[in-house]
Structure 1
Amino acid sequence: MSDQTYKVLVLCTGNSARSIMSEALINVLGAGRFLAYSAGSQPSGRVNPFAVEQAQSIGYDTANVRSKSWDEFSQPDSPKMDIVITVCDSAAGESCPLWRGSPIKVHWGFEDPSHVDGSDEDKRAAFTKTFAQIRGKITLLVNLPIDTLSHTELESALQVIGDLPV
């Protein structure tokens, strides 16, 4: 087994909900084998409090969580990513910056829970549902025998995970 830590960048448009929750799940469930970051093509500048609540529910430290631009990860001194995952359809269709190295790029689409109207209970329920859907795919990711897969095999496995129904 390798001691490599796999770096994952999770992208969405606003970097306020789905990408934040994905970052938290990868960092917690990845147990040191994975290091996740999140960013947005058009960051909202704020993290949705219901996303923060979900991240905290699994023990993720949200003290430094913020909505940030994906440009932070395309700089010469940025961490070299192994995997880039888009989690919203609009970010998947945008022209991404060039990432350092040759990361595998996949799309795992999830509905945006921040678009749910209603009471706080309705919104919380939408975030809980989306968080569970993301958790299902992240669990599959962190349990892949990643150290034994070629680049092509890993790309295929990640695509299969993305194609699974949520």
Structure 2
Amino acid sequence: MKILVLCTGNSCRSQMAHGFLQSFDKNLTVRSAGTEASGKLNANAVKAMNEIGIDISKHTSDSVDLYLDQEWDYVITVCGGANEACPAFMGKVKNRIHIGFDDPSHAEGSEDFIWSEFIRVRNQIKDAFYKFYQDNIKK
């Protein structure tokens, strides 16, 4: 089973989703990518995942162009609100799904509030992707 998690910057939400899917099932081939990949991971995303025992620090922030010539069972977009355009995947894919989340890297306010947004979104990603996994993959 091959799953590509797609967003714009590939530094935060898609990376967390990638980490969760891989933690649910080591036999899955999971990649994440962005249409405008930042080239680096968001430090708070890495920290939030480490807090629950999932290390994404070795992930890379890759352009979706690396994956266009491959076939995918699922391509899942994770971009959030109305002001954020979800990227389209033009490669070969059996199932396209959108599971949107707020971008915690856009949170403004105190350090405590920003951190709480990373935890909130991380937990939402975990719940939504576990449901996806249970409903679509683990049969």
TM-score range, shorter chain: 0.7 to 0.9
Q: Which one has the bigger strand percentage?
A: 2
Aligned to 1:126: 117
* Identity rate, percent: 34
Q: Which one has the bigger helix percentage?
A: 1
Aligned to 2:6: 11
**Structure 2, gaps ≥5 residues long:** none
Question: SS at 1:134's partner residue?
Answer: helix
Contact persistence 2:36–2:63 (CA under 8 A): yes
1:83 matches 2:74: yes
Q: Distance in 1 between matches of 2:136 and 2:104?
A: 31
Q: Distance in 1 between matches of 2:91 and 2:128?
A: 25
Question: SS at 1:143's partner residue?
Answer: helix
Aligned to 1:98: 91
Aligned to 1:139: 130
Q: Supply the AA of the counterpart residue of 2:59.
A: V
Contact persistence 1:11–1:91 (CA under 8 A): no
TM-score (norm 1): 0.73
TM-score (norm 2): 0.86
Deviation of 1:57 (Å): 2.5
Q: Supply the AA of the counterpart residue of 2:22.
A: N
**Structure 1, gaps ≥5 residues long:** 1-5, 149-166
Contact persistence 1:50–1:127 (CA under 8 A): yes
Q: Distance in 1 between matches of 2:12 and 2:105?
A: 7
Q: Distance in 2 between matches of 1:119 and 1:46?
A: 23
More displaced 10-residue stretch of structure 1: 52-61 or 103-112: 52-61
Distance 1:145 1:105, change over 3 A: closer
RMSD (Å), alpha carbons: 1.9
Residue 48 (structure 1) aligned to one of 36, 42, 49: 42
Q: Which runs of 4+ in 1 moved over 3 A?
A: 145-148
